[in-house]
Amino acid sequence: MRRGQAAIEYLIILAVVVIIALIVIGVIGGFPGMTRGISERDSAAYWAAADVGVTRYFVSAVPSSSLLVVRNNRLFSVNITGITMGGTAVNGSLATSPLPLAPGSSASQYITAPACTAGQSYSWTTVITYKDSVYGNAYTFTGEKPLVGTCQT
């Protein structure tokens, strides 16, 4: 056997092993960009633990009847001044007065959610703006994961 032939055989075997490894990783779901997306359960868990968390939410196809339950997970009191979902301001009563939340407390907020069709799934990038009640520092929390769910009637 010649030296060149052995090197080529080695490279072919190495290429086959690399291809098999990539196929196995793809089947297992090891590449983040190749997965279907985030599930409703993962979204709910992420948003419940956010700085200003969304612990429960109901998005309705009927205008102005969607509901968010927000929770202050910060160590200081905050005033929620705005909520944006899917690029649409859904402030509801926040447009006229901020929603005060003490540390660890929750409150319900009716909103005007972006248009959706009953039974249709949604996945919206959500942004919550709020201020420190004591010092007045303004914060913007943009979720790394979208708010995912199904539009209700």
Interacting residues of 22 by C-beta distance below 8 A, sequence separation 6+:
none
pLDDT at 121: 93
Span 64-79, mean pLDDT? 93
Spatial distance between the Cα atoms of 6 and 112, rounded to a whole number of angstroms = 69
Q: Collapse the DSSP code of 30 into the 3-class scheme (helix H, G, I; strand E, B; otherwise coil) and give the result.
A: coil
Query: In this model, does residue 41 exceed pLDDT 60?
Result: yes
Q: Mind listing the pLDDT tens digit for each residue in 78-137?
A: 999 999 999 888 877 676 789 999 999 999 988 888 889 999 999 999 999 999 999 999
Rounded to two decimals, the pTM is 0.73
* CATH number of the 40-150 domain: 2.60.40
**What DSSP element (H or E) covers 43?**
helix 40-48
Answer with the residue of higher pLDDT: 69 or 153: 69
Q: Is the pLDDT of residue 33 over 90?
A: no
What the block records as the tokens of 65 is: 């009847």
Give phi and psi for 49, each to the nearest 5. -100, 0
- Containing H/E element for 40? helix 40-48
Torsional class of 30: left (φ above 0), alpha (ψ -120 to 50), beta (otherwise): alpha
CA angle 142, 55, 107 (to 5 degrees): 95
Domain boundaries, the chain: 3-34, 40-150
Confidence class for position 145, pLDDT limits 50, 70, 90: very high
Query: What's the rounded Cα separation, in Å, for the pair 109 and 133?
Result: 18
With tokens 């929770």, the residue in question is 71
Q: From CA 11, how far away is CA 21, in angstroms rounded? A: 15
